[in-house]
Chain A
């Protein structure tokens, strides 16, 4: 569906169901340079089980208009604005990678609005490799190729997608090349590199929180995810073996199972 936030058109996938204001809202926030498509193996389930599932394209990404936001703090405010724009007072947030920084910051800023927080491949800070950052800011497609290499674990490099016939490294590459690299990935990487408030923001979070981490994550190493989780009161942690940073594709079923249990327990769906 499309709606406006701060005068710019926003696209969000509703998981194949019409938006229904009576249902509780889950917002999925994608990682650097990516789009709502990364969530396809999670969003449809929630959309068909009593939730409004909104996998947003951040401004300037995917099918959303406007320019990419330059800081994690701006993105956090923007997520809060999305909740208002679709006529809800509260939401459950799910973030991947950069989306974790955004949702952590958003939850700390708007504690009354955010009911649960689910983090995948998260960290309190994501300092960028300077060469990777430079490649992305200079619009070099090699930045995407490197990101996809590092983002997939050793097993993920062979493929074996849960959806028959999909080859996820190439799919991820295509998603990251949907728009101009320097305007999406370049801006996002710089925003991640600049963001320093993750650990402080985490300390303020009081809502139920889940961290899904992967043993072979090279983009946000598991020790960083554990460090972040340790700062959040009562945070649950689920660790996936033999999996990389793109856990939402590499181990989509496992991620959905864990996410389903956590969200339905802490933020129940509208019963039919």
Chain B
């Protein structure tokens, strides 16, 4: 017998268990083992007093499914638990989650510092749409860590970026940029769609708000649109006078100060109480349920996505038709060391590669692969390809494309979980066609 004293260890549930169970208690839902789909718009009040208390945030509960819904609520808690966050708010898409985050944080006259390597739709939001609301942005290349510092102005309210940029796979030095943000008394907001919490939990590296397009790997099956913002709970909104909408009495709720009343969940409470009330980009309960099904197998799928991606990186790196390959698992990736630190469980399944023969070869490749699907999505269980310069980023002019790190020979590949040999065989068909672009385009 050992006389060693047993070390005390917390027995809170681990990632894989939370993926299946967090946010839901069957005994409160008629014993239903599966999360029920609450396909309803509204909820009975016990009496007038109960109604008033719900409207006034005096007690928790549901009023109207634009603001909250029990099925969506399970998804929100589940993602918050997986990210290590205090609270989350699900939205109808990733873009609405970004918009809601910005509108919760900023007012007209404010400024944001933004990574230049982003999904094309996000670039357009920051470059063209937010200025219409009086919110200006300065773009900085993701590897230019010092540039983020230099771009901060008196009216800057936050830094935003994708941890691994879309589509070029440049990695933001999150730990350093967090320091820059916090030294300036502003939060760091990270779009971690490419990573999912299985690969990286940005809160562990100091980020303050995490955003996902749940449509991608989290849901995983290309079936449902959804987005979410998650709050880390550490950011002190009362440390300076930069965030009056968080700290000062808010007329819309009888003089409520979100920061004072809700502390580590203040941002989410405001985003819901104000943003969902006024903008209304709510997630449907059916889509929330679909995403929950995806999250149940997140870790299983992400392992396969990552192992397939690493195989594809090796295959593409040695292929005669490929000019270059960018993926954080490649030893020659400029951010390989940072990737090892931030993404210890795998480097994700997004690969960018350049095809020899430029744009024409790229078009031929895309037009001839049979298994890989040509479409504007990533993070499906199936392998997806697109030519960004003519697709996802086609609304950018030449200079913006260059600043965003895009080239005309670039193919964006989202590696699925099919048998790896089948993916490679399919690519061989595409490459063969790419080597004879004229012949193929005349077919």
Which A residues contact B (CB, under 8 angstroms)? 13, 15-18, 35, 37, 40-41, 44-45, 47-48, 63, 129, 131-132, 135, 142, 145-146, 148-149, 155, 157-167, 169-171, 174-175, 177-178, 242, 252-253, 256
Contact of B264 among A41, A155, A162, A175 (CB under 8 A): A175
Alpha-carbon gap, A177 to B233, bound state (A): 10
A15, A132, A165 interface centre (most CB from chain B within 10 Å): A165
The reply to whether B10 and A148 form a contact with Cβ atoms under 8 Å apart is yes
Among B24-32, B366-374, B397-405, the stretch that binds chain A is B24-32
Minimum C-beta distance from A254 to chain B (A):
11
Q: Chain B residues near A41: list those with CB within 8 A.
A: 59-60
Q: Chain B residues near A15: list those with CB within 8 A.
A: 261
Contact of B60 among A17, A145, A161, A178 (CB under 8 A): A161
Minimum C-beta distance from A52 to chain B (A):
15
Chain A residue with the shortest CB-CB distance to B5: A131
Alpha-carbon gap, A142 to B21, bound state (A): 23
Q: Chain A residues near B10: list those with CB within 8 A.
A: 142, 145-146, 148-149
Q: Chain A residues near B13: list those with CB within 8 A.
A: 157-158
The reply to whether B23 and A13 form a contact with Cβ atoms under 8 Å apart is no
Q: Chain A residues near B261: list those with CB within 8 A.
A: 13, 15-16, 40, 44
Contact of B253 among A16, A160, A164, A242 (CB under 8 A): A16
Alpha-carbon gap, A243 to B80, bound state (A): 21
Question: Counting CB contacts under 8 A, is B254 at the interface?
Answer: yes
Q: Chain B residues near A149: list those with CB within 8 A.
A: 10-12
Q: Which residues 89-144 of B sit at the A interface, judged by CB distance below 8 A?
A: 89-90
Q: Chain A residues near B21: list those with CB within 8 A.
A: 158
Q: Chain B residues near A253: list those with CB within 8 A.
A: 59-61
Q: Chain A residues near B307: list those with CB within 8 A.
A: none
Q: Chain A residues near B56: list those with CB within 8 A.
A: 16, 44, 48
A166 in contact with B87 given A44-B58, A45-B59, A159-B77 (CB within 8 Å): yes
Which B residues contact A (CB, under 8 angstroms)? 8-13, 21-25, 27-28, 52-53, 56-62, 68-70, 72-74, 76-78, 80-81, 84-90, 233-234, 238, 253-257, 260-265, 268-269, 272
Contact of A16 among B80, B88, B255 (CB under 8 A): B255
| A-B contact number at CB 8 A | 150
Contact of A155 among B27, B85, B256 (CB under 8 A): B27
The reply to whether B80 and A37 form a contact with Cβ atoms under 8 Å apart is no
Chain A residue with the shortest CB-CB distance to B70: A164
Other than the given A145-B12, A148-B12, A163-B265, 13 more pairs (CB < 8 A) read A17-B254, A40-B262, A41-B60, A44-B56, A45-B59, A160-B24, A160-B74, A164-B72, A164-B73, A165-B80, A166-B80, A167-B77, A174-B86
Minimum C-beta distance from B37 to chain A (A):
16
Alpha-carbon gap, A148 to B10, bound state (A): 8
Contact of A170 among B74, B84, B238, B253 (CB under 8 A): B84
The reply to whether B256 and A16 form a contact with Cβ atoms under 8 Å apart is yes
Chain A residue with the shortest CB-CB distance to B250: A16
Q: Chain B residues near A13: list those with CB within 8 A.
A: 260-261
Chain A residue with the shortest CB-CB distance to B26: A158
Q: Chain B residues near A48: list those with CB within 8 A.
A: 52-53, 56, 58, 254
Interchain residue pairs with CB less than 8 A apart (29): A17-B255, A41-B60, A44-B58, A48-B254, A132-B8, A142-B8, A158-B24, A159-B23, A159-B25, A160-B28, A161-B77, A164-B60, A164-B69, A164-B70, A164-B272, A165-B76, A166-B80, A166-B265, A166-B268, A170-B84, A170-B86, A171-B87, A171-B233, A171-B264, A175-B263, A177-B234, A242-B27, A253-B60, A253-B61
**Top 4 nearest A-B pairs by Cβ distance?**
A162-B60, A163-B60, A164-B68, A165-B76
Chain A residue with the shortest CB-CB distance to B6: A131
Chain B residue with the shortest CB-CB distance to A45: B58
Minimum C-beta distance from B92 to chain A (A):
15
Alpha-carbon gap, A51 to B327, bound state (A): 60
Chain A residue with the shortest CB-CB distance to B72: A164
Chain B residue with the shortest CB-CB distance to A18: B255
Q: Chain B residues near A178: list those with CB within 8 A.
A: 263-264
Alpha-carbon gap, A164 to B61, bound state (A): 7
A160 in contact with B234 given A16-B254, A44-B261 (CB within 8 Å): no
Q: Chain A residues near B81: list those with CB within 8 A.
A: 159, 167, 169-170
Minimum C-beta distance from B341 to chain A (A):
21
Alpha-carbon gap, A127 to B162, bound state (A): 48
Contact of B85 among A45, A167, A256 (CB under 8 A): A167
The reply to whether B253 and A174 form a contact with Cβ atoms under 8 Å apart is no
The reply to whether B12 and A157 form a contact with Cβ atoms under 8 Å apart is yes
Q: Chain A residues near B12: list those with CB within 8 A.
A: 145, 148-149, 157, 169
Minimum C-beta distance from A189 to chain B (A):
14
Alpha-carbon gap, A170 to B82, bound state (A): 10
Alpha-carbon gap, A171 to B70, bound state (A): 20
The reply to whether A166 and B8 form a contact with Cβ atoms under 8 Å apart is no
Alpha-carbon gap, A252 to B53, bound state (A): 13
Alpha-carbon gap, A250 to B199, bound state (A): 30
A167 in contact with B86 given A16-B261, A160-B28 (CB within 8 Å): yes
Q: Chain A residues near B22: list those with CB within 8 A.
A: 158-159, 167
Chain B residue with the shortest CB-CB distance to A147: B10
Alpha-carbon gap, A41 to B269, bound state (A): 13
Contact of B87 among A63, A145, A167 (CB under 8 A): A167
Q: Chain B residues near A242: list those with CB within 8 A.
A: 27
Q: Chain A residues near B253: list those with CB within 8 A.
A: 16
Minimum C-beta distance from B137 to chain A (A):
27
The reply to whether B27 and A166 form a contact with Cβ atoms under 8 Å apart is no
Contact of B238 among A40, A44, A63, A132 (CB under 8 A): A63
Q: Chain B residues near A45: list those with CB within 8 A.
A: 53, 58-59
Minimum C-beta distance from A44 to chain B (A):
4
Q: Chain B residues near A170: list those with CB within 8 A.
A: 80-81, 84-86, 233
